[in-house]
A and B are shown apart, each in its own frame.
Chain A
Amino acid sequence: EVQLVESGGGLVQPGGSLRLSCAASGFTFSSYWMSWVRQAPGKGLEWVANIKQDGSEKYYVDSVKGRFTISRDNAKNSLYLQMNSLRAEDTAVYYCARVRELEWFDPWGQGTLVTVSS
C-alpha cells in the first residue's frame, strides 16, 4: 500500500524554525517528484514546493522563497521541508504528496499542523 506519513508539526513563535518530515512507503520513492501542499485553517489548498527525483531541481511558491527549503533522502525514503523565519500566515496543515506525470498529486499524506503564534 502506498503511504505517506508526515511529522514534525507543532507550535512555533514568529521568526522561528521547524522541520517537517514525510516518510514514504509502498512505492519506489526515488522514482517520483514529490511536493508539499498546505492548507490554512478554513482555507483552500496552496502548493508550496516541488522536488525532482534526484533533488537536482526544486521549485517554490513565491511566498516561501528564501525561507523554506525542500529536500529528500532517497536512501531513507523521506521528504523534508525546512521552514525558517516563520510567519503567522504560514499557519496551516502541511501535506506531502507524490507527483504523478508532473501533473497531479496522488496520494497525499494525512498532514501535519504547523501553528505560528506567540
Chain B
Amino acid sequence: SYELTQPLSVSVALGQTARITCGGNNIGSKNVHWYQQKPGQAPVLVIYRDSNRPSGIPERFSGSNSGNTATLTISRAQAGDEADYYCQVWDSSTYVVFGGGTKLTVL
C-alpha cells in the first residue's frame, strides 16, 4: 500500500517561511493536495494538484512536487497559520491516502 510521510512538527519564526514536506515513493508522479486543520475545526483545502490555491487561500501558501517529496510552503508565516497540515493523494490501489499530519508552530 502507498504511504505518505510527514514530519510530526515544524516550527517557524513569525514572518519567516515554513516548509512542510510530504514523502512518498515517486510522489512526483501523483497529484498532491494539502489541508489545514485548526483545533476543533474541520480540515480546509489549501492546495490542490500540487500547487493550485483554492479561492480565498492567501498567496502566501504555495506547493511543489517532484521526485519523492512534495512541499507545502507558507511564506511570511502568521500566528493564524498555526495548525495541523495534511497531505493527500488518490492512489489507484488504496484509493485515498493521507499523510500523518504536521503540527506547525509559529514562534
Contact = CB atoms under 8 A, between A and B. Distances in A.
B43 A108 contact: yes
Given A44-B99, A102-B90, A103-B90, 17 more contacts: A44-B100, A44-B101, A47-B96, A50-B96, A95-B43, A103-B31, A103-B48, A104-B33, A104-B48, A105-B33, A105-B35, A106-B45, A106-B48, A108-B42, A109-B42, A110-B41, A111-B42
B104 to A, nearest CB: 14
Contact of B98 (A46, A108, A111): A46
A59 B91 CA distance: 13
Main secondary structure of the interface of B (DSSP, over half): strand
Dominant SS at the A interface? strand
Chain B, interface size: which category?
A: 20 to 34
Nearest to A48: B96
Contacts of A110: 41-42
Nearest to B31: A103
A29 to B, nearest CB: 18
Interface of A: 35, 37, 44-47, 50, 59, 61, 95, 100, 102-111
A107 B48 CA distance: 12
B45 A104 contact: yes
Top 10 closest A-B pairs, CB basis? A47-B96, A104-B33, A108-B42, A106-B45, A44-B101, A45-B98, A104-B48, A103-B90, A44-B100, A59-B95
9 contacts: A47-B98, A50-B96, A103-B33, A103-B48, A103-B90, A104-B45, A105-B43, A107-B44, A107-B45
B86 interface: yes
Contacts of A109: 42
